[in-house]
Amino acid sequence: MKKNPTLLFFLFAAALLFSGQPSFAATTTVCIECHGDLPGDLGEVPVAEWQTSVHARYQTSCHDCHGGDPTDYAMAMTAERGFIGVPEYEDIPAFCGRCHVGVEEDYRESLHGQVLAFGGPNCATCHDNHAVQVATIDLINEDSCSRCHSYERPALIKEEISATETMLSQLETSIAALYRVGIDTSRLEDELFATRNDFRRLFHSVDIDKIRAQTAQFHSDLEQTKAAVAELEDTMGQRKLAGGALVLLLLLGGCIGLLIRRSYHDQE
């Protein structure tokens, strides 16, 4: 059967339009295979929690935090292969801070960090350990914060950062939409990633005055990113308009061709 090139083109275009960003499948390691078969808190529980986490989504696996060799059953948990195991309570900020450097610095200077030695909160207190999710403003909530103190100060912090968080979320959605239609958004993604990380580092200081003083600069940075996104969206709108016009012309040409062909057959 002869293939219709026009149909193939539109099917290909539709695939590009509706495909999402690539997902990140978690890689299986000997850590997952062994502990996944064990019962309880040393096995199936942490493995199941990790599989739902943002770490799993971006392929940050057991050995990236706990060390060891994820390819060798016999040597996986040996000091020779760099295994460091589970950190003590007070060591958790440094443990997480190997990747989250800026956040650790602000945490250390905060009231939370200053009372760590006296049982104050560490990273896992708010973010969990294995079931770490994408950080959002909803982590600041009365149920969580009231476990240690009143919700008055956290509520003020949440109110102060909410507008910036909303803008971050909206820009993430807009950039993802541009990516799905084939636009190179790498620069915008990098800019937003840097701004988001710096901003979320800031409110780990839990210093309402510091947050208020610096939020304006983050708004300014996000406005620049927003303007760049709007320019790309405008360009895409013009392309869609031109594409729509082209499709209409093709349809019109096809109809005219059919009419001419029918007239030719009628004359015969």
Its pTM surpasses 0.85: no
The pLDDT value given to residue 268: 60
Phi, psi of 246 (to 5 degrees): -65, -45
Encoded amino acid at 90, one letter: E
User: Between 199 and 259, whose confidence is greater?
Assistant: 199
Q: How far apart are CA 3 and CA 177, in angstroms?
A: 31
Question: Residues, the chain, total?
Answer: 268
Of the chain, the percentage scoring pLDDT greater than 70 comes to 86
Residue 66's closest CA among 50, 77, 53, 55?
Answer: 77
Is the pLDDT at 230 greater than 60, yes or no? yes
User: Between 181 and 99, whose confidence is greater?
Assistant: 99
Q: How far apart are CA 67 and CA 132, in angstroms?
A: 18
* 187-218 tens-digit pLDDT: 999 999 999 889 988 989 999 999 999 988 89
What are the counts of helices (DSSP H) followed by strands (DSSP E) for the chain?
Answer: 13, 0
* 124-164 tens-digit pLDDT: 999 999 999 988 889 999 999 999 999 999 999 999 999 99
State the DSSP string of 89-119. GGGHHHHHHTT-HHHHHHHHHSHHHHTGGGT
Tell me the average pLDDT across 108-112: 95
In contact, 180 and 20? CB cutoff 8 Å: yes
